[in-house]
Chains A and B, each alone.
Chain A
């Protein structure tokens, strides 16, 4: 696949992921620039990557973390915010649903309520699993935690939502 098709295929997903991780638009764009430039610098690399999209997600996250560390180090003199404290905020879009504004807001509220009951890492896992369809092994790699830890975070999320919204399933 050539650079243009790769770019067109994945730039939106990469951009969204970067923004959800709490980075400014321009910073995310710079990081995407760096990721693609690095990718094409090594043609062997391109040939040997089997999951190109996953590779791009991983490189982007690493690049963003590097940028984050550089900036942090300046501001707080070595006091870097740990990975697990990075934000993850999913933007909910209902504007493209062709329904009344009122109903749009209702849907947005429901989804928001549910996502707000979760932690940043739980939201990140859900996004990576549901929207990007990564498996637990890949997600664990992106979050730099174990597969077991990853699954535990999800079951905790399910539990806390059941408690919060008393959603009991009657079978």
Chain B
């Protein structure tokens, strides 16, 4: 037992190879040895417990995830979960209505002996959409969450105050901590704009989460688009490079205007309008020229193509420009913008339609749906919270 005379405290134990080995890989020999040791030194019992506790809980298992990161990740999970749930519920409703249609057909035949041709529109040739409940925009700052039920304009200034203007010109002013990372969560169906402390202007599209500091106090200016889509006009500042992080890639910005979209389930997209950006995905860094788009999918090499930028940034001015755009893409966009959930089977012919033209994203969903159906040669019907899209009747 002599050797263990040096072990008088829990820190001594943590320095002792025999103790460490016993803890991490105990076998019979080690067990009986240490049992005997503590039997002879009962005064060291607490030191032993402390050493074990430290090793297990903090020494070998310390998470480097900070509170902000943890919160932001949870928000992201919640957004995805809610979206999925709505889709699922809707599949059920869709199924139920299909059953109802069949029931009607049978009734029709039985009661009126009518040819049910007008009713037999195969149910997969309908796309059904549902209007979902609206959620509030949330601004998380200094650990507090403030909700707004209308689109907002958020503006940060040098004095460390945040000004939030709602559509009805209701202004809320908040004092915030200088070093604070804030989050702005824009749910589906809402949009917001944001002016950062350096004068950079950000348009956030529906379903987006942006993390940004109150002040850019470090060497770099850094913000993070955790999910969603934004258009940004970065204020020029040679001294402080501007970085935009996303979960999948990183952008270095050299005084520019560009659109960045990174929704779940679709590839990340960077469209450069003006200036210069470089995109870092993995170890690769690629420079973009104006009018170029970079598509980034996980596990694939980034794809570069020349595009008409107006198609990608028109949303910030409240309209969609379409050119042979697949129906599914159009519905995806409308879904996010108005917080709807469209439901269609994989083999619906309707989704193969394309749209060309301009759709104003007005507050009146009926107007928007009318435009879509005109552009895609379809028709729609709205009942309560449900929208049915089908082939245009001759």
Assess whether A11 is in contact with B25, with CB atoms less than 8 Å apart: no
Q: Is residue A85 within 8 Å, beta carbon to beta carbon, of the partner chain?
A: no
Q: Is residue B299 within 8 Å, beta carbon to beta carbon, of the partner chain?
A: yes
| A165 CB to nearest chain B CB (Å) | 5
- Binary interface profile of B, 72-109, with partner A (CB < 8 Å = 1, else 0)? 01101110110011001000000000000000000000
**Partner of B21 from A30, A41, A107, A161 at Cβ < 8 Å:** A161
Q: Chain A contact residues: over half helix, strand or loop, or mixed?
A: helix
- A103 and B280 CA atoms in complex are apart in Å by 41
Q: Which of A47-55, A76-84, A123-131, A134-142 forms contacts with chain B?
A: A123-131
Assess whether B73 is in contact with A93, with CB atoms less than 8 Å apart: no
A residues near B15, Cβ cutoff 8 Å: 103, 106-107, 110
A residues near B74, Cβ cutoff 8 Å: 4, 7, 11
| A151 CB to nearest chain B CB (Å) | 11
B residues near A12, Cβ cutoff 8 Å: 63, 65, 70
Assess whether A37 is in contact with B81, with CB atoms less than 8 Å apart: yes
Assess whether A97 is in contact with B54, with CB atoms less than 8 Å apart: yes
- Binary interface profile of A, 76-106, with partner B (CB < 8 Å = 1, else 0)? 0000000000000011111011010001001
- A107 and B15 CA atoms in complex are apart in Å by 5
| A110 CB to nearest chain B CB (Å) | 5
Number of residues of chain B lying within 8 A (CB) of chain A: 48
Chain A residue nearest to B18 in the complex (CB): A167
Known A37-B80, A67-B299, A97-B54; contact A169-B30, beta-carbon cutoff 8 A: yes
| B151 CB to nearest chain A CB (Å) | 26
| A36 CB to nearest chain B CB (Å) | 5
Assess whether B299 is in contact with A70, with CB atoms less than 8 Å apart: yes
Q: Is residue A170 within 8 Å, beta carbon to beta carbon, of the partner chain?
A: yes
Q: Which of A1-59 contact B (CB under 8 A)?
A: 3-4, 7, 11-13, 15-16, 19, 25-26, 29-30, 32-33, 36-37, 40-41
- A171 and B3 CA atoms in complex are apart in Å by 11
Q: Is residue A71 within 8 Å, beta carbon to beta carbon, of the partner chain?
A: yes
Assess whether B11 is in contact with A99, with CB atoms less than 8 Å apart: yes
Q: Which of B7-44 contact A (CB under 8 A)?
A: 11, 14-18, 20-21, 23-25, 27, 29-30, 32-33, 36
Assess whether B21 is in contact with A94, with CB atoms less than 8 Å apart: no
| A82 CB to nearest chain B CB (Å) | 18
A residues near B65, Cβ cutoff 8 Å: 11-12, 15
Known A158-B25, A167-B18; contact A71-B62, beta-carbon cutoff 8 A: no
Assess whether A16 is in contact with B63, with CB atoms less than 8 Å apart: yes
Assess whether B80 is in contact with A154, with CB atoms less than 8 Å apart: no
**Partner of A33 from B59, B73, B282 at Cβ < 8 Å:** B73
Number of residues of chain A lying within 8 A (CB) of chain B: 53
Assess whether A94 is in contact with B247, with CB atoms less than 8 Å apart: no
Q: Is residue B298 within 8 Å, beta carbon to beta carbon, of the partner chain?
A: yes
Q: Chain B contact residues: over half helix, strand or loop, or mixed?
A: helix
Assess whether B60 is in contact with A92, with CB atoms less than 8 Å apart: yes
Chain A residue nearest to B78 in the complex (CB): A3
Chain A residue nearest to B34 in the complex (CB): A169
| A147 CB to nearest chain B CB (Å) | 16
Assess whether B23 is in contact with A130, with CB atoms less than 8 Å apart: yes
Q: Is residue B69 within 8 Å, beta carbon to beta carbon, of the partner chain?
A: yes
Q: Which of B50-76 contact A (CB under 8 A)?
A: 54-56, 58-65, 69-70, 73-74, 76
Assess whether B17 is in contact with A167, with CB atoms less than 8 Å apart: yes
B residues near A152, Cβ cutoff 8 Å: none
- A70 and B61 CA atoms in complex are apart in Å by 28
**Partner of A29 from B3, B23, B32, B247 at Cβ < 8 Å:** B247
- A34 and B211 CA atoms in complex are apart in Å by 20
Q: Is residue A114 within 8 Å, beta carbon to beta carbon, of the partner chain?
A: yes
Q: Is residue B158 within 8 Å, beta carbon to beta carbon, of the partner chain?
A: no
Q: Is residue B167 within 8 Å, beta carbon to beta carbon, of the partner chain?
A: no
A residues near B81, Cβ cutoff 8 Å: 3, 36-37, 40-41
B residues near A127, Cβ cutoff 8 Å: 60
Q: Which of B215-254 contact A (CB under 8 A)?
A: 247-248
| B65 CB to nearest chain A CB (Å) | 5
Assess whether B25 is in contact with A7, with CB atoms less than 8 Å apart: no
Q: Is residue B301 within 8 Å, beta carbon to beta carbon, of the partner chain?
A: yes
- A32 and B11 CA atoms in complex are apart in Å by 35
B residues near A113, Cβ cutoff 8 Å: 17
| B286 CB to nearest chain A CB (Å) | 15
Using A32-B73, A171-B29 as known contacts, list a sample of 13 further A-B pairs with CB atoms less than 8 Å apart, ordered by residue number in A. A3-B77, A11-B70, A12-B63, A30-B247, A41-B88, A70-B299, A71-B299, A74-B300, A93-B60, A111-B14, A130-B24, A131-B60, A165-B17
Shortest 4 CB-CB distances between A and B: which pairs?
A70-B299, A12-B63, A93-B62, A37-B80
